[in-house]
């Protein structure tokens, strides 16, 4: 599952699967906070994300975001990325905070070994509230106030997921 890093992951997945011209949500709240969704903007992809021959991640993908209702759907529709994600949730649909929405996606999909990948303290706090292990995307927009498993590059995510959430 992905939080604030979802847009960056979507961009990188789009590049990996040969899609071009993919925007990311704009804006960022105070350090450790959540980035609000807003008009699309472009930002550079992480190294390794453009390898067109790379296989898919090999595990199911989900998004839990603080975006308003309709934003994720519009992003999927505009860029053809919906097929890569099994489910998603946001407070615009449920009226619930991120931690509750993470738990909802876990329960709704019968996930036995979920792993939440995020890049802010808010992501860590929400995953902890939901009782879901957390992987910090340290190349993202925030930092975490304690030692947690992390990756320094997008390309490191599949190996970290296999290590932290083995089949």
Per-residue pLDDT of the chain (167 residues), as tens digits, is 655 455 555 555 555 444 444 343 333 333 334 444 444 443 343 454 434 344 456 788 899 999 889 989 987 887 777 888 899 999 999 999 999 999 999 999 999 999 999 999 999 999 999 999 999 999 988 999 999 999 999 889 989 998 998 77
Residue 58: how many CA atoms within 13 Å on its side-chain side? 11
Widest CA span of the chain, in angstroms? 40
8 A C-beta contact, residue 106 and residue 156: no
pTM score of the predicted model: 0.71
- Within 10 angstroms of residue 99's Cβ, the number of other Cβ atoms is 20
CA distances from 146 to 27, 30, 81, 124, 140 (A): 25, 18, 33, 10, 16
């Amino acid at each position: 599952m992905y939080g604030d890093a979802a847009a960056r992951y979507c961009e990188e997945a789009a590049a990996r699967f040969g899609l071009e011209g993919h925007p990311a949500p704009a804006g960022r709240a105070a350090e450790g906070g959540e980035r609000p969704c807003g008009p699309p903007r472009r930002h550079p992809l992480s190294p390794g994300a453009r390898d067109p021959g790379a296989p898919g991640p090999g595990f199911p993908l989900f998004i839990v975001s603080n975006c308003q209702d309709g934003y994720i759907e519009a992003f999927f529709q505009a860029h053809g990325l919906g097929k890569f994600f099994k489910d998603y949730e946001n407070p615009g649909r449920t009226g619930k905070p991120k931690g509750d929405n993470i738990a909802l996606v876990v329960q709704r999909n019968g996930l036995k070994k979920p792993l939440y990948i995020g890049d802010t303290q808010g992501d860590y706090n929400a995953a902890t509230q939901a009782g879901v292990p957390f992987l910090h995307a340290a190349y993202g927009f925030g930092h975490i106030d304690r030692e947690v498993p992390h990756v320094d590059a997008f390309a490191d995510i599949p190996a970290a997921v296999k290590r932290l959430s083995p089949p």
